[in-house]
Amino acid sequence: MKKHFNLARNLLALVTLLSLIGGSYIAFTFIAKNYALPPRLFMFKILKKAGMESNVITRALTPPSLRPEGLVFPALDKPGWQGHGAREDRKPAPVNYDSAGRPVPLSWIKNKDIAISPDGASRIVPVQNSEELLHAVRQALPGDIVTLNPGTYAIKRRGIYVASGGTLKQPITVRAERLGDVFLELDTLEGFVVNSPYWIFENLDIKGVCNNDDDCEHAFHLVGEGHGFVLRNSRIHEFSSPFKANRFRIDDAPRIGPEGVLLEGNSFYNTRARQTSKPVTFIDVVGSNHFILSNNLIADFQKAHEDHISYGAQIKGNSTHGVFEKNLVVCEYETTGGVRVGLSFGGGGTDRKFLEPGDVYEHSKGIVRNNIVMFCSDVGLYLNKAHETQVFNNTFYATNGIDVRFPESTALIVNNLLSGNIWSRNGGTSIRRNNLIRDINGWPLSFRQGFKDWFFDPAGADFGLKNGEKIVNKGEAASLLWEDFCGNQRNGLPDIGAIEYGTIKPCRPLGERE
């Protein structure tokens, strides 16, 4: 009798254990599906809800750094920088606009022949100190070019509010003659707050100097009617979210979001982790249509507190027609740690209170092309409720790959070169063609090639070609592929990945190494 009793008791215990495991799995799966986060990130949110977000636990769950120990990259503010992003030798050029009055990169004009050029300056407004700069910004008229004399401009206030606006033919410009001449040191929560159309900022070095990292959130906050905004050839650093854009509601009217925004040829970076629990997302866009992020360098976005999650750039909030092109994203450049996602349409999702009734998607009709994304502890590209996204000719090195998530997400993924994988989760769907997916080092080494077999020094951001058998002319032609990451024309069958080879010498993303 005792033997039968013990057997029954053990069977009951086993059934109970299996039930607990099954119930836990179902609960875990439900939570995972309902948190709009990449694969490794939702666990931190669960811990926070449970009040268990201690440093010990989060450190244990944080994935290991993908950046090789001992790797040395050049300083991002190095004089004479010849790599991607902002450069001192870049000559000023007029901003060009498409037929709808939206600013676009020069390559779009060359390939689409839709240029609209401004009339030129109505007056030059020189300034030589902080007070004169603030006055010039407050009193600016269409066509003004506010020109900062060389020097350091220290500004301490909550924000610099831009009220008046320019026009398509006469935008308002705030600029230095050359990058490296003018340094703005902002002890501000928001920096320039722009709620008016057609402002251009260029050739500026803008640094956050707040004593507390909970301050110095943004260098630029673009809201409401900040249409036609342009930021070019500037270094922006030591902020939690250097560039923020979002919709704005007046009374009971539908929210208005900035239309047509161009961030081109800038460098966004921090020199250390942000000691804050506030969001750390270098370009954080909510509800802005036709937002173009082109030819920028984005590096070292790290959040040191709470969930430790950070993004290089995200466009969400029912935005449409966003473009990520020719950007260099190095999640771990000088610093390591935390959980870092490269680029995203949809990000961590948008609270319903910031959406309009009927909004279904976080983003629709986006383009991701010719980018290099490196050393991200999570995915290089995260598509969260991102409808009809085209992902062409990107290189994702040492990331967890591409994540297409939720039934609203659909993607065409073609000609990409990546480590990690292409993930379709929770109903997300994608069409995949001509993608080359390999481990960093190849596996096993004697049978399967990897990045190190194709390129001279991919870990050092040198994608000079060593063996192009699997890459050169192996891509699929597409009408939206005009140039590669370096700005070289793509002709005929494109090469796989962000860089076109053939007879053209590829650029070095970080310039010539010493």
Asked whether residue 38 is assigned to any structural domain, the reply reads: no
What percent of the chain is modeled with pLDDT above 90?
Answer: 60
Q: Which two tokens stand for residue 283?
A: 């370009």
Check whether residue 191 and residue 336 sit in a common domain. Answer: yes
- More reliable by pLDDT, 3 or 419: 419
Identify the band that residue 141 occupies on the pLDDT scale cut at 50, 70 and 90.
very high
| Cα gap 77→99, rounded to integer Å | 36
Averaged pLDDT for residues 59-85: 82
Q: Which of 388, 369, 389 is nearest to 327 (CA)?
A: 369
Identify the bridge partners of residue 391 per DSSP, sorted by sequence position. 368, 413
Check whether residue 278 and residue 380 sit in a common domain. Answer: yes
| Cα gap 283→297, rounded to integer Å | 11
Check whether residue 346 and residue 208 sit in a common domain. Answer: yes
Averaged pLDDT for residues 167-178: 95
Identify the bridge partners of residue 145 per DSSP, sorted by sequence position. 124, 173
Query: pLDDT tens-digit profile of 332-390?
Result: 999 888 889 999 999 888 777 667 677 788 999 999 999 999 999 899 999 999 999 99
- More reliable by pLDDT, 61 or 27: 61
Asked whether residue 480 is assigned to any structural domain, the reply reads: no
Of the three residues 465, 491, 507, the one that is the final residue of a domain is: 465
Asked whether residue 311 is assigned to any structural domain, the reply reads: yes
- More reliable by pLDDT, 257 or 441: 257
Of the three residues 465, 480, 509, the one that is the final residue of a domain is: 465
What percent of the chain is modeled with pLDDT above 70?
Answer: 82
| Cα gap 87→184, rounded to integer Å | 17
**pLDDT of 251 over the 70 cut:** no
Taking the CA atoms of residue 196, residue 280, residue 319 and residue 110 in that order, the dihedral angle to the nearest 10 degrees is: 70
- More reliable by pLDDT, 218 or 9: 218
Check whether residue 18 and residue 147 sit in a common domain. Answer: no
Check whether residue 321 and residue 416 sit in a common domain. Answer: yes
Averaged pLDDT for residues 108-122: 69
Check whether residue 269 and residue 351 sit in a common domain. Answer: yes
Q: Which of 144, 148, 215 is nearest to 184 (CA)?
A: 148
The reported pLDDT for the residue numbered 65 is 73
Averaged pLDDT for residues 120-126: 84
Check whether residue 118 and residue 3 sit in a common domain. Answer: no
Averaged pLDDT for residues 67-84: 89
Domain residue limits at 17: 1-31
Asked whether residue 492 is assigned to any structural domain, the reply reads: no
**CATH number, domain containing residue 302:** 2.160.20
**pLDDT of 274 over the 90 cut:** no
Asked whether residue 40 is assigned to any structural domain, the reply reads: no
**pLDDT of 200 over the 60 cut:** yes
Averaged pLDDT for residues 146-154: 98
Q: How many residues does the chain have?
A: 514
Residue 34 zone, left/alpha/beta (φ > 0; ψ -120 to 50; rest): alpha
Asked whether residue 6 is assigned to any structural domain, the reply reads: yes
Check whether residue 345 and residue 221 sit in a common domain. Answer: yes
| Cα gap 316→382, rounded to integer Å | 11
pTM of the model: 0.88
Residues 6+ apart with CB under 8 A from 138: 161, 163, 164
Identify the band that residue 449 occupies on the pLDDT scale cut at 50, 70 and 90.
confident
Averaged confidence pLDDT in the chain: 85
| Cα gap 140→340, rounded to integer Å | 39
Asked whether residue 497 is assigned to any structural domain, the reply reads: no
Check whether residue 3 and residue 131 sit in a common domain. Answer: no
By the 8 A CB rule, do 312 and 342 touch? yes
**pLDDT of 445 over the 60 cut:** no
By the 8 A CB rule, do 245 and 285 touch? yes
Averaged pLDDT for residues 247-253: 70
Identify the band that residue 302 occupies on the pLDDT scale cut at 50, 70 and 90.
confident
Encoded amino acid at 501, one letter: Y
Q: Which long-range contacts (CB under 8 A, 24 or more apart) does 451-454 make?
A: 451/397, 451/419
The reported pLDDT for the residue numbered 27 is 44
**pLDDT of 29 over the 50 cut:** no
The reported pLDDT for the residue numbered 11 is 60
Asked whether residue 478 is assigned to any structural domain, the reply reads: no
C-alpha of 305 from chain center: 21
Q: Give whole-number Cα distances, 310 to 298, 348, 371, 409, 425, in Å.
A: 12, 10, 19, 21, 21
What is the domain count for the chain? 2
Identify the bridge partners of residue 70 per DSSP, sorted by sequence position. none
Q: Give whole-number Cα distances, 328 to 265, 442, 484, in Å.
A: 10, 23, 12
The reported pLDDT for the residue numbered 344 is 97
**pLDDT of 496 over the 80 cut:** yes
The string of DSSP codes covering 374-415 is E--SS-SEEEESEESEEEES-EEESS-EEEEESTT-EEEEES
Averaged pLDDT for residues 161-176: 93
**pLDDT of 32 over the 50 cut:** no
